[in-house]
Chains A and B, each alone.
Chain A
Amino acid sequence: MSAGSRTSRDPLDSDWHPGAGLAALRARAAMLADLRAHFAASGVLEVETPLACSTAGTDPALQPLTAQYKGPIYPSGTRLYLQTSPEFAMKRLLAAGSGPIFQICKAFRDGEAGRLHNPEFSILEWYRPGVGVADLITEVATLARLCLIQPALAVEYVPYAMLFRRELDLDVFTADPDVLKAAALDHNILGAEGMDLTRDGWLDLLFSHLIQPALGQSALCFVTDYPASQAALARLNADGRTAARFELFHQGLELANGFDELVDPDEQAARFESDNCQRRSAGQEPIKIDRRLLAALQQGMPATCGVAVGLDRLLMLRLGVRDIDEVLSFSLQRC
């Protein structure tokens, strides 16, 4: 086929091509090898857990993809959830006495596609029993520097509430939705005038539009102590209004989310219920509660810190590319 006729039929022809060039494929392989070498050297066990499970996380902000299974064990068929992260299964391993573990796997989130999102993406998730948040953050920074090939990259820490006070003069603990909406309008977020959001929804709007883009422009920026209403699966801090949750941002990109993990089975059960309550009121389907996780916590999971890192975005920053499609072999529009 001549070059000319190829160009003229570009849309048909070109979508068999990978989005990632050879350099990106090689960089990914090198990055994965470096990460595995780090964990092997520090005695963290690599594990695999199922990606298709009979239950899933209940977080109202995450929608799992689902699949259908029919055959032995479930003769009349059952729905399986593709995991939004391998968290629950890994916690069951911890409760079973695994010690420190890590996993590199795919995670799935329905409805998420764009320059920084693909519904199927790569996660590095690891757990260190007996280690505190500060030490886990240090290890996250070490691995981020390794992946970005920037051994001297500086580290910054800033509590979530301080960002809002400093940048927007807002108190995240007391500001009600009307105050947060007024702040969005004051800062010219067009479209906010017609929005009806929850308190946390407004915080997300302000954070993603006005705060996040500037975070970690020349450093690894760890945002710590999220409000208790955004604890997800972190335990609450002693102050009762913040959670032991942190996130990593670099050049405005959200790269990692970590917790001092919630290990109390009653509190976990209460959060499942509260999540499903929110899901119902938002018109989403509630998700069957993972009784096996609760049983594992009941039996006892050691105090543990854990974190999930988005490997595709880390690779984007390493290569300096703008679109996640450039680091994936075949993103949603190509697969």
Chain B
Amino acid sequence: MATYSTNEFRGGLKLLLDGDPCTIIENEFVKPGKGQAFNRVRIRNLKTGRVLEKTFRSGETVEAADVVDRDLQYLYSDGEFWHFMDTDTFEQVQADANAMGESIKWLKEQDLCMVTLWNGSPIAVEAPNFVILEITETDPGVKGDTSGGGGKPATLETGAVVRVPLFVQTGEKIKVDTRTGDYVSRVKDE
């Protein structure tokens, strides 16, 4: 079992706390001139995404979490799991809906994603910041409207629904910012 002492604490270090993998966001050494030293640490729980503050007595050791981030290619979903592959080693892993989170809405086969692996299994999947997806259904826009002022809902090939300007039509491809879910632009086919 690998462990870290508080002296090794720094941003990005992965710890196992109460059974969950966590990453250190910020580590602060706190010590009264003539008193006990502590490490006051801001931590993100990598399974729940929650941020919390935790204090350690300086000199304590904490169990390390075997967590790595890797760029993997999304292959397909069998309905229960989403399958990814390392394009160098061809090694495959499967993520459940929990690990997929919001990324489910944006992924198309062959997209490259950042997958966080804990003990070799995905616990989080981050879609690319921008994806290009085809609109499968949207109401026909009012003719002549080019301002995009009002907008309307559009369903994308992955099932996601985004607001698009009125002039965008079914069958067109659009670029979407996955962090906000906002429409960015139309994309012309090459």
Contacts of B57 in A (CB 8 A): 195, 197, 201
**A interface residue count range (under 10 / 10 to 19 / 20 to 34 / 35 or more):** 20 to 34
Contact call B34/A62, Cβ cutoff below 8 A: yes
B64–chain A nearest beta-carbon distance, Å: 17
B72-97 vs A, CB cutoff 8 Å, 1 = contact: the mask equals: 00000000000000000000000000
A117-131 vs B, CB cutoff 8 Å, 1 = contact: the mask equals: 100000000000000
Those of B39-91 within 8 Å (CB) of chain A = 40, 52-58
Contact call B29/A117, Cβ cutoff below 8 A: yes
Contact call B29/A113, Cβ cutoff below 8 A: yes
Those of A219-239 within 8 Å (CB) of chain B = 230, 232
Number of residues from B at the complex interface, CB < 8 A = 21
Residue A171 lies at the interface, judged by CB distance under 8 Å to chain B: no
Given A111-B58, A208-B38, A209-B40, answer yes or no on A190-B53 (Cβ-Cβ < 8 Å): yes
Contact call B55/A205, Cβ cutoff below 8 A: yes
B38–chain A nearest beta-carbon distance, Å: 7
Residue A191 lies at the interface, judged by CB distance under 8 Å to chain B: yes
Contact call B32/A209, Cβ cutoff below 8 A: no
Measured CB to CB, the nearest residue on chain A to B7 is A111
B9–chain A nearest beta-carbon distance, Å: 10
A208 to B58, CA, bound (A): 14
A146 to B32, CA, bound (A): 24
Contacts of A111 in B (CB 8 A): 7, 37, 58
Contact call B56/A204, Cβ cutoff below 8 A: no
Classify the secondary structure of B's interface with A.
Answer: strand
Contacts of B38 in A (CB 8 A): 204-205, 208-209
Residue B180 lies at the interface, judged by CB distance under 8 Å to chain A: no
Residue A273 lies at the interface, judged by CB distance under 8 Å to chain B: no
Residue A3 lies at the interface, judged by CB distance under 8 Å to chain B: no
Residue B19 lies at the interface, judged by CB distance under 8 Å to chain A: no
Contact call B55/A209, Cβ cutoff below 8 A: yes
Residue B36 lies at the interface, judged by CB distance under 8 Å to chain A: yes
A130–chain B nearest beta-carbon distance, Å: 25
Contacts of B27 in A (CB 8 A): 114
Contact call B32/A208, Cβ cutoff below 8 A: yes
Contacts of B33 in A (CB 8 A): 61, 247, 254, 257, 310
B21–chain A nearest beta-carbon distance, Å: 17
Given A197-B36, A201-B36, A208-B35, answer yes or no on A191-B28 (Cβ-Cβ < 8 Å): no
Given A189-B55, A209-B40, answer yes or no on A61-B29 (Cβ-Cβ < 8 Å): no
Contact call A204/B53, Cβ cutoff below 8 A: no
Contacts of A200 in B (CB 8 A): 35-36
Contacts of B36 in A (CB 8 A): 61, 197-198, 200-201, 204-205
A170 to B112, CA, bound (A): 56
Contact call B31/A191, Cβ cutoff below 8 A: no
A230 to B54, CA, bound (A): 26
A191 to B36, CA, bound (A): 15
Contact call A114/B29, Cβ cutoff below 8 A: yes
Contacts of B37 in A (CB 8 A): 61, 111-112
Residue B184 lies at the interface, judged by CB distance under 8 Å to chain A: no
A106 to B29, CA, bound (A): 21
A191 to B6, CA, bound (A): 13
Contact residues of B with A, CB < 8 Å? Answer: 7, 27-38, 40, 52-58
Q: List 25 A-B contacts (CB under 8 A).
A: A61-B31, A61-B32, A61-B34, A61-B37, A111-B7, A112-B31, A112-B37, A114-B30, A189-B55, A190-B52, A191-B55, A192-B55, A201-B36, A204-B35, A205-B36, A207-B32, A207-B35, A208-B30, A208-B31, A208-B38, A209-B40, A209-B55, A212-B32, A230-B35, A232-B34
A204-B36, A254-B33 are known; give 19 further A-B pairs, CB within 8 A.
Answer: A61-B33, A62-B34, A111-B58, A112-B29, A189-B55, A195-B55, A195-B57, A198-B36, A200-B36, A201-B35, A205-B36, A208-B35, A208-B38, A209-B30, A209-B40, A212-B32, A230-B34, A254-B32, A257-B34
9 residue pairs, one from A and one from B, having the closest CB atoms: A114-B29, A204-B35, A191-B55, A204-B36, A201-B36, A190-B54, A191-B54, A61-B34, A208-B30
Contact residues of A with B, CB < 8 Å? Answer: 59, 61-62, 111-117, 189-192, 195, 197-198, 200-201, 203-205, 207-209, 212, 230, 232, 247, 254, 257, 310
